[in-house]
């Protein structure tokens, strides 16, 4: 079995015009790299969660839009922009909740608009055939920058989060906001990795995270591979664990944070937060500022992805585990009310209640 830390979550392979990802649907049994070349392959990989986690989806989208525009034969800037928008809309339709997807795509478009304006300011007579290769080169550079920034941002979140951890703490996490959801440290796992590196005797607890088991398959795998004392539990066991006194802090990631501090994260997060409030346990949300969506006033504005019934009834079993045709409720995410969140940890600092992220981010 290969070690997941030997591979990049998402990488650009220039010589093959491809994005290389670890196929996360095969973990932990098999660590297999796959290459995505077409728009449909990139869309499918995001939709099927072969690559998942808000920041990793953002990086994939950045590389994706670069690769899709690389073959452009546009004869004018307007034509190029129209193609870019078409690719953007397509990729953006793969998953609705993680804002990093649209954030990365919009950032790529804005960057290219600014860069074109700069080129025009230097030489407004220059023919588009000479400009097109420059625009494409710049798209590659910006996509790489998004990836590099993710590593720095997660490291910073880790440093802030570490300041909230004490020797001997039991730390619970939900879903996977780890290396596999980002490029290197993860968001919610960054403080855990750093506490471990520092020699603190922490214990990590991972909710299995039904229905797609990101906690069992990915987080428990990642943290135990890194040598961290890791325990797996079913989602319905966290209340019992909290009551036992074994949990001192909870760190989770997020897919979108509204301006009022309401948070969308993997389904089940709001249940964990509610229990944490009851047991007076600190509940921290780790959020790169790219995951904060100031256009959403509250969690009510966040679109929640609904997924197929088979993920609940059939996917992990040899035979179906529910009556045929049963109605299934399968939202991929839920909203945790800001009142339940002790603090939101970003790369720009730790924000506390009452949340007004518009002001905090000024």
Footprint (CB under 6 A) of ligand MRU, residues 227-266:
253-255, 265-266
| Token pair belonging to 97 | 């909740």
Is position 49 an interface residue for ligand MRU (rule: CB under 6 A)?
yes
Per DSSP, the three-state class of 190 is: helix
Measure Cα distances from 247 to 53, 82, 161, 278 in Å.
24, 52, 16, 13
Does 177 help bind ligand MRU (rule: CB under 6 A)? yes
Contact with ligand MRU (CB under 6 A) among 281, 332, 340, 344: 332
255 among known catalytic residues: yes
Stretch of 10-18, 77-85, 124-132, 180-188 contacting ligand MRU, by CB under 6 A: 180-188
CB 10 to ligand MRU: min, Å: 13
Regarding 54 and contact with ligand MRU (CB under 6 A), the answer is: yes
Catalytic residue among 150, 169, 235, 255: 255
Q: Which is nearer to ligand MRU, 132 or 177 (CB)?
A: 177
Q: Which of 278, 275, 284 is nearest to 338 (CA)?
A: 284
Other Cβ atoms less than 10 A from the Cβ of 133: the count is: 10
Burial class (CB in 10 A: 0-12, 13-18, 19+), 323: exposed
Whether omega before 28 lies within 30 degrees of 0, making that bond cis, reads yes
- Tokens 């797996």 sit at which residue? 232
Give yes or no for residue 196 binding ligand MRU (CB under 6 A): no
Min dist CB 211 to ligand MRU, Å, is 10
Q: Does 187 bind ligand MRU (CB under 6 A)?
A: yes
Please say which residue, 49 or 131, places its beta carbon nearer to ligand MRU: 49
What element of type H or E holds 154? Answer: helix 128-162
Binding status of residue 214 toward ligand MRU by CB under 6 A: yes
Please, what's the b/e burial string for 184-194 (b: 16 or more CB within 10 A of its CB; e: otherwise)?
A: bbbbbbbbbbb
Nearer to ligand MRU, 67 or 257 (CB): 257
Query: In this complex, which beta carbon is closest to ligand MRU, that of residue 140 or of residue 155?
Result: 155
Q: Cβ atoms within 10 A of the Cβ of 159, count?
A: 14
Q: Output the six-digit token pair for 211.
A: 């229905």
Task: Please tell me whether residue 96 adopts helix, strand or coil conformation.
Answer: coil
Strand partners, 349: 346
181 lies in the site for ligand MRU, by CB under 6 A = yes
Q: How far is the CB of 189 from ligand MRU (least distance, A)?
A: 8
Q: How many residues bind ligand MRU (CB under 6 A)?
A: 19
Residue 266 Cβ, how far from ligand MRU at the closest point, in Å? 3
Decide: is 161 part of the binding site for ligand MRU (CB under 6 A).
no
**220 neighbors 214 (Cβ within 8 angstroms):** no
CB 186 within 8 A of CB 179: yes
Using CB under 6 A as the criterion, what x/- string covers residues 285-314 for binding ligand MRU? ------------------------------
* Least distance to ligand MRU, CB of residue 267, Å: 8
CA distance 45 to 41: 6
Structure tokens at 100: 């990093």
Closer residue to ligand MRU (CB): 102 or 182: 182
Binding footprint of ligand MRU on the chain (CB under 6 A): 49, 52-55, 98, 175, 177, 181-182, 186-187, 214, 253-255, 265-266, 332
Catalytic residues: 255
């Amino acid at each position: 079995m290969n070690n997941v830390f030997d591979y990049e979550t998402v990488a650009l392979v220039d010589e093959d015009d491809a994005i290389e990802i670890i196929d996360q649907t095969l973990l932990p049994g098999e660590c297999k790299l796959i290459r995505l070349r077409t728009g449909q392959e990139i869309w499918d990989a995001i939709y099927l969660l072969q690559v998942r986690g808000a920041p990793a989806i953002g990086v994939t989208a950045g590389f994706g839009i670069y690769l899709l525009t690389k073959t452009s034969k546009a004869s004018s800037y307007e034509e190029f922009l129209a193609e870019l928008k078409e690719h953007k809309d397509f990729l953006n339709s793969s998953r609705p909740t993680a804002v990093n997807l649209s954030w990365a795509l919009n950032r790529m478009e804005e960057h290219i608009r600014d860069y074109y304006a700069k080129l025009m300011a230097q030489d407004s007579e220059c023919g588009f055939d000479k400009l097109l290769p420059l625009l494409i080169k710049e798209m590659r550079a910006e996509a790489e920058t998004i990836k590099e920034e993710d590593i720095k941002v997660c490291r910073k979140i880790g440093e802030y989060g570490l300041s909230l951890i004490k020797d001997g703490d039991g730390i619970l996490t939900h879903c996977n906001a780890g290396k596999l959801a980002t490029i290197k440290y993860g968001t919610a796992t960054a403080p855990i990795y750093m506490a471990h590196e520092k020699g603190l005797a922490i214990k990590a607890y991972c909710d299995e995270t039904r229905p797609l088991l990101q906690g069992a398959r990915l987080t428990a795998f990642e943290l135990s591979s890194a040598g961290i004392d890791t325990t797996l539990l079913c989602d319905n066991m966290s209340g019992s664990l909290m009551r036992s006194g074994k949990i001192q802090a909870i760190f989770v990631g997020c897919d979108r944070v509204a301006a009022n501090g309401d948070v969308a994260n993997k389904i089940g997060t709001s249940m964990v937060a509610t229990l944490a409030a009851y047991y007076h346990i600190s509940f921290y949300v780790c959020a790169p500022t790219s995951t904060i969506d100031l256009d959403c006033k509250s969690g009510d504005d966040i679109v929640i992805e609904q997924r197929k019934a088979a993920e609940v009834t059939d996917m992990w079993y040899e035979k179906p585990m529910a009556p045929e045709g049963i109605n299934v409720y399968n939202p991929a995410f839920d909203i945790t009310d800001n009142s339940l969140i002790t603090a939101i940890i970003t790369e720009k600092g730790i924000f506390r209640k009452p949340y007004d992220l518009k002001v905090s981010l000024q």
